[in-house]
A = this chain, B = another copy of it.
């Protein structure tokens, strides 16, 4: 009995101590990170409505938005597989390869700007890119609008989504509807529950990983709601990785700003759902998350991250994998006699 009671006291003391430590860790974490909000983030010049969300979902999943009829937004940003396509770089129109790893659409709404180099200010600007890229969907704005106008159901959906507009079916509104849908694609995770006060949402290894993530300096770039996605940094700040990871031909944000300082600068990758979205980096050439963590330590922080430390950081990153609200697969309008025919022709 006495022995038992001693054990109990010890356990209680330990729990109280852990509680205090947890609070300290949480206080520190809350200065760096923010949980996912419970409402759909507002989009500039683009009011949110249920009908617009539904239209955006239809467009997001519609392969007829590509010239060939093969690719939809969801092809490379697949909601079934973490919001990306699990390839080093995507395969697009004519079996051409894209230049960079497809980033996840999940929680993309929280990024400061879109694409690896931040060349699109927001999701509606981003949505216009792949549709027109010759190596991706290879379509034109005119052909997208003609396709949409050929299906009365789409015309009705646009009218309801953009009430009072003289020409509701437009390429701009196509992008706006997709933006609004994508703004709903957020994935609250155990880390959010923990930030919000649920001590049990992270296990000990994850908490140790979080502490390391902050102590080592990872959180200097990977912070905010998305643990990244909100700033630009040179890849190879301390030590430039080899061409197998950082190919010399892609100078990142330099192509956007044409400033020498921006050579090999990329937007810090957002880390939510990162264990669902291998391979890693803009080149998509690293498949193992632990290896990616160690490369980051070396190239960005000059830190030699041990195997044990990397395991803990990877455990913490696992707590960023969240759940999307169930997505009901859309039923799309059928083509009509006026719908432009798909073509796989490569120009």
A interface residues with partner B (beta carbon < 8 Å): 61-64, 68-70, 75, 78-82, 85-87, 91, 94-95, 97, 275-276, 278, 287-288, 323-324, 326-332, 334-335, 337, 341-342, 344, 346
State whether A69 touches B86 (Cβ < 8 A): yes
A87 and B69 contact, Cβ closer than 8 Å, known pairs A95-B344, A329-B329? yes
Cβ contact of A91, chosen from B70, B97, B330, cutoff 8 A: B70
State whether B63 touches A85 (Cβ < 8 A): yes
A331 surroundings in chain B (CB, below 8 A): 80, 323-324
In whole angstroms, what is the CA distance A276 to B333 when docked? 8
State whether A81 touches B328 (Cβ < 8 A): no
Residue of B whose beta carbon sits closest to that of A324: B331
Q: How far, in Å, is A147 (CB) from chain B's closest CB?
A: 11
State whether B86 touches A342 (Cβ < 8 A): yes
Residue of B whose beta carbon sits closest to that of A337: B288
Q: How far, in Å, is A292 (CB) from chain B's closest CB?
A: 12
A64 surroundings in chain B (CB, below 8 A): 81, 86
A61 surroundings in chain B (CB, below 8 A): 80
Q: How far, in Å, is A87 (CB) from chain B's closest CB?
A: 5
In whole angstroms, what is the CA distance A35 to B334 when docked? 24
A334 and B276 contact, Cβ closer than 8 Å, known pairs A328-B326, A329-B80? yes
Having A70-B75, A80-B330, A95-B95, one finds 4 other A-B pairs with CB under 8 Å, namely A61-B80, A70-B91, A82-B334, A86-B342
State whether B80 touches A342 (Cβ < 8 A): no
Cβ contact of A329, chosen from B68, B79, B86, B278, cutoff 8 A: B79
The oligomer's copy count stands at: 2
**Of residues A82, A85, A94, A331, which shows the largest number of chain B Cβ atoms within 10 Å of its Cβ?**
A331
Of all A-B residue pairs in the complex, the 4 with the closest CB atoms, nearest first, are A95-B95, A327-B329, A276-B334, A80-B332
Give the secondary structure class of A's interface. Answer: loop
Cβ contact of A86, chosen from B94, B323, B326, B335, cutoff 8 A: B335
In whole angstroms, what is the CA distance A87 to B63 when docked? 11
In whole angstroms, what is the CA distance A71 to B326 when docked? 22
In whole angstroms, what is the CA distance A61 to B75 when docked? 11
State whether B82 touches A62 (Cβ < 8 A): no
Q: 12 A–B contact pairs at CB < 8 A?
A: A63-B86, A64-B86, A68-B91, A69-B86, A80-B332, A81-B332, A86-B335, A87-B342, A275-B334, A278-B334, A323-B331, A326-B329
**Of residues A70, A94, A328, which shows the largest number of chain B Cβ atoms within 10 Å of its Cβ?**
A70
Q: How far, in Å, is A78 (CB) from chain B's closest CB?
A: 7
A276 surroundings in chain B (CB, below 8 A): 334
Q: How far, in Å, is A335 (CB) from chain B's closest CB?
A: 6
Residue of B whose beta carbon sits closest to that of A97: B344
Q: How far, in Å, is A57 (CB) from chain B's closest CB?
A: 10
In whole angstroms, what is the CA distance A80 to B330 when docked? 6
Q: How far, in Å, is A103 (CB) from chain B's closest CB?
A: 16
Q: How far, in Å, is A249 (CB) from chain B's closest CB?
A: 20
A332 surroundings in chain B (CB, below 8 A): 80-81
A287 surroundings in chain B (CB, below 8 A): 335, 337, 341
A275 surroundings in chain B (CB, below 8 A): 334
Residue of B whose beta carbon sits closest to that of A78: B63
Q: How far, in Å, is A53 (CB) from chain B's closest CB?
A: 15
Residue of B whose beta carbon sits closest to that of A76: B70
